[in-house]
Structure 1
Amino acid sequence: MTSALTEQTLGNLACAIPGATRIFRQYKLDFCCGGNTSLEEAARQRDLDAQAIAAELAMLNRSSDSEPDWRNEPTGVLIEYLLERFHERHREQLPELIRLANRVEHVHGAKPGCPLGLAEHLWTMQQELESHMLKEEQVLFPMLQRGMEVPQSHGPIAVMRYEHDQHGAALAKLAALTNDITPPANACNTWRALYRGLEELRDDLMQHIHLENNILFLRGAAQ
């Protein structure tokens, strides 16, 4: 059983096993932009035990979970979930994170470990993500909701996948600026609140990209 799991891609496992994404985040395995990589290969790249991770996934697979299997939900339902759960949430998250980052850099800029440049990076992420989401809301999602029979959605999907890769690179830079979102021992409450928010943003954005790349866009590409 575990050997069969190691041969599957991270994207397929994230779709098939409720809760798998939590385990992948724990081991820092990229199931969104790197969703086409097998568990075996992804674990090898990070010097991890693929069989041990597969055993954890197998245990999850035997347990019940309330997360829906989005592969079985209508396209319109999935799109509405993406809009409400992620698009709206990102628009709430980033302005507050930018405010907190500016505060931390202003007050603690001379201290070791201060994430200098973080506020500017978050502002850039906000601009790029807003542009990306508007393209989905105004162009791609309406196409997919209409269930178009011609491959007009293929071009926009390719653009969105490319931009998802850019978002993945932005998350990597965010991790580099923040010691993998780990506050120093003497961090103040504002600093810790900022990093808790960054963790949430990273988790949400990875799940957002996963659902689009590995489920929604595959449907569009198959039309």
Structure 2
Amino acid sequence: MIATSTTLGDLVAQDMRRARILEQYGLDYCCNGQRSLAQAAETAGLDADRLAHELDLPEAPADQPAQPLANAALAHDIVDTHHAYLWQEMPRLQALVDKVFQVHGEKHPELARVREAYTAAVADLEPHLTKEERVLFPAISKLEKAQAPVAFPFGSLANPIRQMMSEHDVAGDLFKEMRELTDGFTPPEGACNSYRAMLTGLDEMERDLHLHIHKENNVLFPQVLRMEQRINAQQA
């Protein structure tokens, strides 16, 4: 039986299949993955013991590594999987959001704020991805390879990590707002194919972003901070 004191981040790190279950209940396991299952359930008005039973899956998936990837390897995987998806999908979805607003905005005034929120999310994510790819992730790889203190211009890796996590919160909040504005990305009666495609795209991007942020906030970044602390302690 899963302990309700286990954090949401740890639950998903142990078995990625649990992400889908937490999504169904609207429980944030990425930006707020440090909350225990009991805390998250109480806030959402859910039965923690019942949730724990549902999350207690019978077997670990065969394709999930038994041990977490090394830091540089995990960062590389995040870039290849989640960054690549966002770089390709963000402009396509922006064009669709703009089109749907122009055609349906008068009848559905909430689309004006959906467009604003999505545009703001992209404006946050584009430099965010670039900073990770060009600054933070190479620094992580350099420290892991050196296994000795490295003098970075930004000081401790905790500094850019703290900034990245703050930016995760911004993007997460914007997508949460878009979900609320669209009644859970539900197409209104008579919605055209473009309208439906926009909502499907926003839903898929939010779900991918949740996994993306989870891998960084709850797996990669804690591993990196522990590595840096260990290396600094060895040199003290």
Q: TM-score, normalised by structure 1?
A: 0.91
Residues 1:149 and 1:216: Cα distance change in structure 2 (over 3 Å): farther
- CA RMSD of the aligned region, Å? 1.8
Query: Does the 8 Å CA contact 1:15/1:69 hold for their aligned counterparts?
Result: no
How many Å separate the matches in 1 of 2:66 and 2:100?
Answer: 39
Which residue of the other structure, out of 213, 216, 220, is the alignment partner of 2:217? 213
Amino acid at match of 2:45: D
Q: Greater CA deviation, 183-192 or 114-123? A: 114-123
- Aligned 8 A contact 2:90 2:122 in 1: yes
Contact in 1 for aligned 2:7/2:34 (Cα 8 Å): yes
Contact 2:15 2:61 in 1 (8 A): no
> Is the counterpart of residue 142 in structure 1 residue 138 in structure 2?
yes
Distance 1:102 1:16, change over 3 A: same
Question: Offset of 1:193 from its aligned partner?
Answer: 0.7
- C-alpha displacement at 1:142, in angstroms? 0.8
Find the counterpart in structure 2 of residue 84 from structure 1: 80
Distance 1:32 1:149, change over 3 A: farther
**Closer, same or farther: CA 89–215 of 1 in aligned 2, 3 Å:** same
Structure 1 consecutive aligned stretches of length 4 or more whose deviation exceeds 3 Å: 148-151
- In structure 1, the residue matched to 2:8 is 10
The residue that corresponds to 2:96 in the other structure is 100
- The correspondence of residues 149-164 of structure 1 with structure 2, limited to 5 A, is 149-150=148-149, 152-164=156-168
Match of 2:233 in 1: none
Q: 1:35 to 1:64 in 2, by over 3 A?
A: closer
Q: Distance in 1 between matches of 2:6 and 2:217?
A: 16
1:40 to 38, 41, 46: 38
2:177 alignment counterpart: 173
Q: How does 1:178-189 map to 2 (within 5 A)?
A: 178-189=182-193
Question: Is residue 8–residue 38 contact of structure 1 (8 Å, CA) maintained in 2?
Answer: yes
In the alignment of these two chains, the number of paired residues is 219
Partner Cα distance (2:205, 2:63) in 1: 20
Gaps of 5+ in 1: none
Partner of 1:116: 112
Match of 2:202 in 1: 198
1:118–1:177 Cα contact (<8 Å) kept? yes
Tell me, in whole angstroms, the C-alpha distance in 1 between the residues paired with 2:175 and 2:148.
35
* 1:127 aligned residue: 123
Letter in 1 for 2:126: E
Greater C-alpha radius of gyration? 2
Instruction: Provide the rounded CA distance (Å) in 2 between the counterparts of 1:177 and 1:67.
Output: 36
Shifted more, 38-47 versus 119-128: the winner is 119-128
CA distance in 2, matches of 1:197, 1:133: 19
Query: Which deviates further from its counterpart, 122-131 or 143-152?
Result: 143-152
Q: Is the CA contact (8 Å cut-off) linking 1:11 and 1:35 kept in structure 2?
A: yes
Question: Residues 8-27 of structure 1, C-alpha deviation per residue, up to 9 Å, x if partnerless?
Answer: 00011010123011111111
